[in-house]
Amino acid sequence: MEYRIEHDSMGEIKVPADKLWGAQTQRSIENFKIGVGRETMPNEIIHAFGILKKAAARVNNKLSPEKLTIEKLSAITKACDEIINGNLNDHFPLVVWQTGSGTQSNMNANEVIASYGNKLTNKKLLHPNDDVNMSQSSNDTFPTAMHIAAVIALENTLIPAAQELINTFIKLEKENEGIVKSGRTHLQDATPIKFSQEISGWRSSLERDILLIKQSLEPLRELALGGTAVGTGLNAPEGFAEMVAEEVSNITGKAFLTAQNKFHALTSKDELVFAHGAVKALAADMMKIANDIRWLASGPRDGLGEIYIPENEPGSSIMPGKVNPTQCEAVTMVAVQVMGNDTAIGIAASQGNFQLNVFMPVLIYNFLQSVRLLGEAINSFNKNCAKGITANKEKMHHNLHNSLMLVTALNPYIGYENAAKTAKKAYKDNISLKEACVKLGFLTAEKFDEVFHPENMV
């Protein structure tokens, strides 16, 4: 491998000749061999750095054109566009397990942008600190990148995935409107419910989750940029913070604004904790929905068997013909991961000391993993399972009319205690509710038929 010599404030160091990063990135590579190749900084953060560095350069050019010249702005902008488009991902090798402020990833971005710009102009035009990092600190750029990445991921990945599944459930509600089946509480038989009503519960849960996520987005739109090292804004010109937030909005097409209190923005991560709580709520509902569906599809002969789900692959290496609810299992495993990530995020957010939180890389790593995994799992579940759900009407009808809890319809006519006696006798003697009620002398057969209509109990 060929190398070139780069230097920083600590001296010289060898860097692979074909890479755009510089000395500080290389030192991080050599000092943090933890999770190498597996747990690198998420691409969403790299993308966000491209956005914020481009926005900062535009504002620096407006406020200090003699320092950040048009030529420098052009070079930085072209480099940032390459980063935003994902063309320079190979030049961001750093792992999550680095400095807790994300300083080395900020410098990775600065060095790559400077190197790319210098190659474009064929001269030493850009300095990573003086030009690309102008008016900034790692302490305000990394939390800014976190918020940008979180908003984009939630709006572009997770919310659309959940909405597609909602659309599927709306279609299933209409298709199954007239079907009445047995309800269940405590995993025991309960009074009747329409299958469409059961589906509507799934749909409404997801609609509420989207509402909660959208509400959590608003605090995430506040950016720390402009606070620099400790929140005072040292070395950032007046108006920089507000103008950068406006530029970030222009670049992304999403609303952002500057954080009102930069001391809070640098040290507290409550916005991300709150937003991930909404993500966890969606994961919890997906766990419930997936479990409902695999229970309802259990069987095919010795389970509930009230619905059919798509048969996507063989389910056993030893039992021929077996098919399993694999999409449900994938969703529930992802839900467990999201819940675990929530614990890590909460603990990381609690570790702000004085003017800075130094658990930011692990926090955003878990946050973005949750959003990505959950979005992908919902898309897979929708495509490979939910869209293919069909009702087993015969089994639903059988289970409904075999349910002892239909006795609830008799409460107004024979009273709660007599209804309970009827249900217990029917169960003990393995006879119908009608037979039990007549044998106990509570109603005549004719009167029972007159008042007992399970389909009207929904």
Among candidate residues 240, 204, 198, 205, the one with its CA nearest the CA of residue 223: 240
Asked whether the beta carbons of 304 and 394 are under 8 A apart, the reply is no
pLDDT in tens, 86-131: 999 999 999 999 999 999 999 999 999 999 999 999 999 999 999 9
Q: What angle (nearest 5°) sits at the alpha carbon of residue 128, between those of residues 127 and 134?
A: 90
Long-range pairs, 298-304, Cβ under 8 A, ≥24: 304/395, 304/399
Q: Check residue 114 and give its pLDDT.
A: 98
The pLDDT tens digits of the residues spanning 299-337 come to: 999 999 999 999 998 988 899 989 999 999 999 999 999
Task: Report CA torsion sign: 319, 325, 331, 332.
Answer: negative
Task: Provide the token pair at 326.
Answer: 């694999």
Distances (CA, A) of 438 to 399, 401, 413, 445: 22, 17, 13, 6
The 10 Å Cβ neighbour count of residue 295 is: 16
Q: What are the tokens at 177?
A: 């409107």
Task: Report the alpha-carbon distance of residue 421 to residue 436 in Å, rounded.
Answer: 9
Distance CA 106, CA 347 (A): 23
SS3 417: helix
Residue-level pLDDT at 37: 87
Q: Is residue 366 very low, low, confident or very high in pLDDT (cuts 50, 70, 90)?
A: very high
d(CA 247, CA 308): 51
Residues labelled as active-site residues: 186, 316
Model pLDDT for residues 128-168, shown as the tens digit of each residue: 999 999 999 999 999 999 999 999 999 999 999 999 999 99
pLDDT of residue 92: 98
Q: Which residues of 122-136 are buried (b: 16+ CB within 10 A; e: fewer)?
A: eeebbebeebbbbbb
How confident is the model over 6-64, as pLDDT tens digits?
A: 999 999 999 999 999 999 999 999 999 999 889 999 999 999 999 999 999 999 999 99
What is the mean predicted confidence (pLDDT) over 73-84?
98
Question: Cβ distance 348 to 363 under 8 Å?
Answer: yes
From 139, 118, 135, select the one nearest 60 (Cα to Cα). Answer: 135
- What is the rounded average pLDDT of the residues 190-217? 98
Residues 6+ apart with CB under 8 A from 289: 202, 205, 206, 331
Residue 194 β-bridge partners = 180
Three-state SS for 253-307 is CCCCEECCCHHHHHHCCHHHHHHHHHHHHHHHHHHHHHHHHHHHCCCCCCCCCCE
3-state secondary structure at position 122: coil
Question: Which tops the pLDDT comparison, 323 or 338?
Answer: 338
Mean residue pLDDT of the chain comes to: 97
Structure tokens at 25: 């990135």
